[in-house]
Structure 1
Amino acid sequence: MPRSPRPRVLYVTDLAYEARGRRYCDEDIFLTSRLRSTFDLALCHPLDAAALTDDFDAVVVRNSGPVLGYQEAYEAFRARALAQGTLVYNPLNGRGDMAGKQYLLDLTAQGRPVIPTVDRPADLGKLPQAPAYVAKPKLGADSIGLRRVSPAELTGLPYDEGLLVQPHIDFLYEVSFYFVDDALQYALHAPDPARRWELRPYEITAADREFARSFIDWNTLPYGIQRVDACRTREGELLLVELEDLNPYLSLDLVDEATRDAFVAAMTASVRTAVSVG
């Protein structure tokens, strides 16, 4: 039987993954329903990805849940994809959350606008004084392992277990910027800091755009979907919270139809270009 001229895409998702305040499966059901107009597409669970990649032109990793839940299978998929030159979307050389949270240390050292971060007792003096601090694992995701600690507790933390420490920021709100390749598609913010996933549309300023784009440029991914998470301090400054470059949730159900359509068009063009070039 002749092979279809349309690109064959393996779409990796965990439709059963449960997250607080979000239904990841709905987003992937929507996206795949639209992508099917351009690609021959099949869905698979992340545990099955390594065994199936050979039959596809590209592997799109979307709402597959935190890698911590299937670390061994992910490492097997990653090793196989790199060894065989599999086109993965997003590419596997991201420097953001895809590689752990070392980037928070690197960006702090570079003086970038990021929440100050250290990973050893000797560097605690580099953090600003604060009434409380946040400790979290370098390989954490979805707030797994995150805890708030007092200044007195800082020196006794288990840094040898791969721990990061940051000052607890009394911010006004959090805001997320959503990119396809290097193009900003939309932004959403959480007006109430206590309700992270109760998001509303956010009007992007020129300064906001420059802030978010600077981290996309720093990450140097040739293509893919990224989410830049930031917080607005009471002094008006934006600080990076996370650079999500593996499988960022997109909250597409919270934007209007025109924005959703534009995002789908941008993603479709991006995947199609990646396949044709790669």
Structure 2
Amino acid sequence: MIAVSGASRPSVLFVTDLAYEAQGRRYCDEDIFLTSRLRETFDVALCHPRDAAALLDRFDAVVVRNSGPVLHYQEAYDAFRTRARESGARVHNSLDGRGDMAGKQYLVDLSRAGFPVIPTVDRAADLWLLPRSAGYVVKPKLGADSVGLRFTDEPEYPEGGDGTLLVQPRIDFRYEVSFYFVGHDFQYALHAPHPARRWVLEPYAPTAADLDFARRFVEWNTLTHGIQRVDACRTPEGGLLLVELEDLNPYLSLDLVSDRVREAFVARMRDSVRELLA
């Protein structure tokens, strides 16, 4: 059973690492803003992800936001997921997504299924499936924020790496673009016009084809409640390829959108938490 607060308003445990430093992003500012707005509707308390498992039973819902890469506190994150499932805690994002919250196996699965995704393999025996490229990327399946990422001239697999490492061709792309959703509802899009400056983002007006592309992955995902960010790159031929399906704690870049878009996002997120509590 979830402990219901004695107050008239639902209580929310907001999980964030305000001290986490990320290149080109200020996680703390975003979460300070979001909690200030959620307090208009809920009683909100903040905690570090290492403390979430011990505290979650005291709240009506848990909102996981900018908690940083879980590989930095994997044991605590696993304990949180186990405790949340055992207690039936209401978690936003819900723990049933199969994007980044479950590791990057989805990139292999989607590649095998023929989805428009950067070709990805996780076994030495499958390296031949990758297209020829001027270079390749090798990264941990459970990695994040480029931790453990390295570049090679040829597709190669370190001995003993099967199942734990991903190999992809380096893609020549025009720019990266991100689509932000709450539940299955599209909110806004941002793009990085300069490939070498990933987090220098500008508002982007998606076409109908762009939204169809992004919604295909949102529909494929099994996330019941929460926020998703679909990251893609635009190829020289004009198509889009999935780079990442972030459904654990996607940074939202809310400081880069208009007041109208930001207010609409806050309202939809608030409704999403209400839906979780209903």
Structure 2 Cα separation of the partners of residues 7 and 99 of structure 1: 29
Give TM-score scaled by structure 2 length.
0.96
- Aligned counterpart in structure 1 of residue 66 of structure 2, from 43, 55, 63: 63
Q: 2:42 matched to 1:33?
A: no
Gaps of 5+ in 2: none
- Aligned counterpart in structure 2 of residue 175 of structure 1, from 174, 177, 182: 177
Number of paired residues?
274
1:89-126 deviation per Cα after TM superposition (whole angstroms, max 9, x unaligned)? 01111100000000001001110000000011211111
**Aligned equivalent of 2:220:** 218
- Aligned counterpart in structure 2 of residue 88 of structure 1, from 73, 87, 91: 91
Structure 2 Cα separation of the partners of residues 144 and 59 of structure 1: 27
RMSD: 1.2
Q: Using a 3 Å threshold, how does the CA distance of structure 1 residues 131 and 244 change in structure 2: closer, same or farther?
A: same
**Equivalent pair of 1:182/1:223 in contact (CA under 8 Å):** no
**Aligned equivalent of 2:145:** 142
**Aligned equivalent of 1:22:** 25
Gaps of 5+ in 1: none
**Equivalent pair of 1:118/1:124 in contact (CA under 8 Å):** yes
- Aligned counterpart in structure 2 of residue 271 of structure 1, from 249, 270, 273: 273
Structure 1 Cα separation of the partners of residues 157 and 256 of structure 2: 42
Aligned to 1:98, what secondary structure does the other structure show? coil
Structure 2 Cα separation of the partners of residues 170 and 203 of structure 1: 22
Which structure 1 residue ranges, 4+ long, deviate > 2 Å from structure 2? 155-161
In the TM superposition, residue 156 of structure 1 has moved relative to its aligned partner by 4.7
Structure 2 Cα separation of the partners of residues 60 and 186 of structure 1: 21
Name the structure with the higher helix share.
1
Q: Using a 3 Å threshold, how does the CA distance of structure 1 residues 16 and 155 change in structure 2: closer, same or farther?
A: closer
Aligned to 1:22, what secondary structure does the other structure show? coil
Aligned to 1:184, what secondary structure does the other structure show? strand
Structure 2 Cα separation of the partners of residues 206 and 31 of structure 1: 29
**Aligned equivalent of 2:11:** 8
Structure 1 Cα separation of the partners of residues 267 and 216 of structure 2: 24
In the TM superposition, residue 220 of structure 1 has moved relative to its aligned partner by 2.2
Give TM-score scaled by structure 1 length.
0.96
**Aligned equivalent of 2:77:** 74
**Equivalent pair of 2:13/2:47 in contact (CA under 8 Å):** yes
**Aligned equivalent of 1:248:** 250
Q: Using a 3 Å threshold, how does the CA distance of structure 1 residues 137 and 205 change in structure 2: closer, same or farther?
A: same
Q: Which moved more, 1:235-244 or 1:117-126?
A: 117-126
Aligned to 1:235, what secondary structure does the other structure show? coil
Structure 1 Cα separation of the partners of residues 146 and 166 of structure 2: 13
Q: Using a 3 Å threshold, how does the CA distance of structure 1 residues 117 and 53 change in structure 2: closer, same or farther?
A: same
Q: Which moved more, 1:259-268 or 1:154-163?
A: 154-163
Task: State the identity as a percent.
Answer: 70
2:230 maps to amino acid: V
Q: Using a 3 Å threshold, how does the CA distance of structure 1 residues 66 and 106 change in structure 2: closer, same or farther?
A: same
